[in-house]
Every structure is written in structure tokens, then in C-alpha cells.
Structure 1
Amino acid sequence: MNISDVAPPHHLSRRQWLGATVGALALVSVGGLAVVNHQIDSYVDPWQEKVAAAGFLQKTALVNGVNLSYAEGPDHGPALVLLHAQHMDWFSYSRVLPALSRSFHVFDIDYPGHGATTVPEGYAMTVRRIGTDLADFMTATTGPAFVTGNSSGGLLTTWLAANRPDLVRAAMLEDPPLFSSEADRIAGTIADRSFATCADAVAQDVDDFLLFWIDSNSTFFDKHAFKGSAKVLTAAVKSYRGANPGEPVEIRFLPDDTTRLFVRGMDQFDPRFGAAFHDGTWNAGFDHAQALRTITCPVLLLQAETSTLADGTLNGAMTTQDGQRAASLLTHGTYRTIDATHVVHLDQPSAFTQLLEDFFVS
């Protein structure tokens, strides 16, 4: 039987499945090992060139002891601050950066715990500390800006809009885990499975968090890549790192942008950030409902999938009721739902860009 005669899993196209399967078979084949290693080690995400061609430069700024890493685009309009999802980094916005740069002066930030940003020893992974540092960066660098954030970046955007209204002209909240990530509900979310792994890594003082996470969450890659892919991915990560020391990991054979950029982000992720969600300390002093009531600027709340697993675990960022409640608390809120996965700007980049531009500039 030829592998091309086998139906792919429901979540993969035939092309993605065949590519992943051939890659896996080649990786464990003695004859194919050198070829596959070269393909893995030499891979460069094609959007790196597109982002550079759009005029983006990577920079750093020292803010309150934090060496904040960010990518800045050309000045083609009002300042726009982007705050990525937890576990990712600034490059998760790469698929929309060239388009956004035509209308905005984009500042795409690795906030503390992520990417190339470094923090002082003992840095508190809390919304208050991180939000304060982001506000001080904006005061010194961007001035008042439009701000959008995805997931935990959406929570930070909420904090900024509530606590520093002088800096946020308008906000777009991209599927933020409002209410569901507060201490009394976090255990009932699928995200907490990752946060629990983060807490384990911190408790065990793990040196290599990415490989620890892959080993601890092999079923995630069974679902989002192919069955048994965790072992293949571990070998690929080791090979890529050996050939590209100090560079964020980029893996060719993963089947979609979200999974590829998730692995890239996790390679530079500080597990203390996720652990602080697991134990509730990240949200200390940050009541989501009160923050939403406080915001006076225009806000677009964008909600993606709201599914629940068979055991009742929330598989999205918010329930439909959470989204509707959040919208009802906003003084100048617009509520939109979209048929997309959690990182909307990767799953549906054109739709995300259009929604953002229509809201901020029209």
C-alpha cells in the first residue's frame, strides 16, 4: 500500500499529511537522514524576507531594567502597538506586518517573558509590572497609540486601556481570555494544561523548556501535526539548534503557521509567565470586569472559537457568555465574532487586517 492511498486525519489536508509523513519516515531512515537534516537546518521562514522588505527593523529599549525587544516599521501613519499571544513572540504577526505597515507606524513588541526581551533577576510576572513597563516604553517611544493584543496580549491591552488612558487611543482585543483566566476559573480551561507544564518546569528548574514542553504535551502534536510527531520534532529542534545557534527555532514540516510559530515562541519563552497564570498571581489586583468598566476609549472585542471539550474544559479563550458580558461592560465597545482559531491574525490574516484597519482608521 502506498501512503498516498491513505486518507489524512481530518485536521490535515492531504498535502500537509503527506509532507509530514514523508518527513517523519525520512528522518528515521538512515539513508535520508542527511538530506532531511539539511532541509531542517537550512529552513528560513519566507515571511522574514517579506517583513524586512516592508521596512521593519529589530530594536531594543531599556525600560525599568527590562531590555525590551521590538520590531519597528516605517512611519506611514499613527502609532500601532501589537502585543502577541502568550507562548509566541513578535514574529507571530509577520503575516500581517507588511499590510499594516502601509497605514500605521507599527511597534511589534516582545513583552517580558517572551522572545528576545530580557528582564532583571526576580522580575515579577504580573500584569501590573508588565503593563507598567509597557506604558513607560510607550511614553518614551510611541506616544499615544492604537493598541491591539491577542490572548494574554489582549489582557495587557485591557490593562493599558484601563490604567493608562492617556496612551491608548483605541483598543482591539483579539480573543482575550477575559474572566476565564482569572484564578477561580483558570483550572477549567485547556490553556491551563500548558500553564501546569510551565509550573512543573519552574518547580523542577528545567534547563530546556521547549523540549520539556514537547515531551510533556505529545498529544498536542499528535493532534496538530501527526501521530508520533513529538519525537520527530524533538530531533528536529536539536538539529536546527546545532546548525543555527542562538536563533529562534523554525521547523519546516509542521503543518500550519500557528503551530510553527508556537514552537518558535516556546523556544524563547520564560515558563514563569505561564506558571503565574496557573497559580493566579499574574492577575493579582486585576479584576477584569472592573477594568472593562473603567475603559473610556473605543474598543473592538473580537471573539473566536468558543468550543468546549466533552469533559467540560473550555477549548477557547472565552465562552460566548464571557464575550457578551465583556462587551456589555464597555462604554464604547464593539463586539464581533469570527469563525477562526484563537490566533486570528495567523488563521485569517486578511480578515484580521481588514477588521483592524476599519476600526482604527475609518
Structure 2
Amino acid sequence: MRVIKIILIIILIIAAVGTIVFSIYWYRNIHWYNKYEKALHEVHATEKQITLPTGSIINYGEVENDKPPLLLIHGQMGIWEDYALVMPELGKKWHIYAVDVYGHGESSHDESLYYLGVNGDDLIWFINNVIGKPTVVAGYSNGAITAAYVAAYGGGNIAGVVLEDPPVFSTEGEGWEDSFAYKDTYKPLHDYNKSDKTECWEAYYLRHCYWGQLYMKNAMPGIADYAQKYHDKHPDAAVKIGYLPSSIWYVFEYAIEYDFAYGERFYDLS
């Protein structure tokens, strides 16, 4: 009898510890953005907007100091705060300007702006008129394509360029439909745009994402259903899935500030 009691006590302790550990894990996942806010506060980043002569608005974050300027251009479905975690280190050597690309965040949402030349030319204007001195331009993913354009046509105020994982192959369409980006993002996004949208984008994506079909095919319908239920309860908030690592779903935070028409320009290679 005594042995049974000891075993039960051990089981209860293990269950209690497991519950506590899982609760901490869940809390940290749900509050993943806290570390971003801490980093932005640490560098005293301020959010600003500039209206171009055309009336278009570029929203951006700035870390002011007397260092040389660095312009950061985020990737698909991101916003300028994507760079928060590297700003404390970058801010030691750079005066940072991180922009919201058109169709993202609080920059202008207008389909006529979702082209490389338009966005690129307006960022060149931004460099010449807001920054006003030689600038290093760095972009990630499709932001790197834009950075390459800015570097090519930006003239004397371009001091250098850094291209992070630029999908340059996509600009002419070679192998585009066999690429991960096409299968995991642009095809599902296009299909969602053409659907009756009976479920939210987050649920639709999880149900059709390429990586999910490769590695977690049987689990994805349940995860998608959970995302839909979360959306139904919190229709004006970003979907959060506490039992999965936030690195899987953190982009949902920015989807509510994303114009899905932007993705169509990649799907049709325009």
C-alpha cells in the first residue's frame, strides 16, 4: 500500500511539473513579441511616416544616432519591426531606417504600387529626401530584390548593398513553380484569393501549406481547425497557437496588416 502511495505521489509530482513546464512554454509562445518590444525600447526606435509627392505613404522605424545610415527592407508578409531583434547590435554602428514595403504594415495599400520599379523608385526617393546621404541598403527575401533595384538605380547616395536570400530566380520564372516559395506561399495565397474565403487565411494556409503536407500531413487539419476557432473568438486579432513554436506561426501577427493582392504580383511574376 505504501509503495502504491509513493508511486501515486511521484506521478502527481511529474504531472504537476509537466503542467508547469508546458504552461511556461505556452506563455512564452503566446507572448513571443515581448522580446521584440524590449529590443525596440532598448534602442529607442521610433515609428514615423513620410508622404511622397504622389501621395503614397511610407511607414518606417528609425533608430537615430550619428552613425552612417542603413536602410532595411523586410520580406514577404513582414513589417519593419521584423528587424527588432538585430537592432540593438546594428544600432551600435548604424543609423537605422527600416521601412514597411507597400502593401504591408502602415505603408500605402494600393495595388498600383505593388511593382518592383514603383516601390524601388519610391525608396530611392526616400533615401534622397528623408535620409539625404550615402546609405547602405539591405533587404531580405523579396526585400532583397527591391534592395538590388535600389542599388542599381539609386545613384550616388547608394554606399553599398546587402542581399539576404534574394529569390532572383523568380524574376524570370525559371523553375518558379517547383520552388518552395511558390508551393508554400504564392500558390496557396493565390488559391485563397480565388476561394470563397469561408475560413480565415491562417486556417487555409495551415491546411494547404507545403511543409505541412510534407512533414505533418495528418496533424495539419486539426491545427487548421484550431486556428479557425481562435480567429472566430478573436476576429480582430492575430491568430496565436500556443502549443506550437511561435517560429512557425509568428508571421500571422503581420497578416492582418498585409494586402493579399501584393502576393499576386509574385504569383503571376509581374
The TM-score range, normalised by the shorter chain, is 0.7 to 0.9
Q: Which residue of 2 aligns with 1:195?
A: 186
SS at match of 2:150: helix
Tell me how far apart the structure 1 counterparts of residues 127 and 187 of structure 2 sit (CA, whole Å).
32
Instruction: Give the structure with the larger helix fraction.
Output: 2
SS of aligned partner of 2:188: helix
Structure 1 vs Structure 2 CA RMSD: 3.4
Specify the alignment match of 1:231 in structure 2: 225
Query: CA deviation digits over 1:198-250, x for unaligned, max 9?
Result: 223444585986336435535645758x75322223333444555x5xxx666
Structure 1 residue runs without a partner (length 5+): 6-14, 24-35, 282-362
Question: Is 1:273 aligned with 2:262?
Answer: yes
Q: Structure 2 regions of 5+ residues with no counterpart?
A: 1-10
Q: TM-score, normalised by structure 1?
A: 0.59
Is residue 44 of structure 2 the alignment partner of residue 55 of structure 1? yes
Larger gyration radius, structure 1 or structure 2: 2
Q: Could you say what secondary structure the match of 2:156 adopts?
A: coil
Query: Are 2:205 and 1:217 aligned?
Result: no
The alpha-carbon deviation at position 179 of structure 1 amounts to 2.0
The letter of the residue matching 1:46 is: K
Paired with 2:261 and 2:193, the residues of 1 have a C-alpha distance of: 6
Residue 125 (structure 1) shift = 1.6
Amino acid at match of 2:189: C
* CA–CA separation in structure 2 for the residues paired with 1:94 and 1:141: 21
User: Aligned pair 1:134/2:112, yes or no?
Assistant: no
1:175–1:50 CA distance, 2 compared to 1 (3 A): same
**Letter of the 2:147 counterpart:** T
- The one-character-per-residue Cα deviations of 1:14-56 (angstroms, maximum 9, x if unpaired) are x9xx849x96xxxxxxxxxxxx9xx95x775332122123110
State the partner residue of 2:5: none
**TM-score, with normalisation over the residues of structure 2?**
0.76
1:133-191 Cα shifts (integer Å, max 9, x gaps): 11112221112211110110110011111111323210111111122443243212111
SS at match of 2:169: coil
The secondary structure found in structure 1 opposite 2:162 is strand
Aligned residues: 245
Aligned partners of 1:215 and 1:185: how far apart in 2?
A: 24
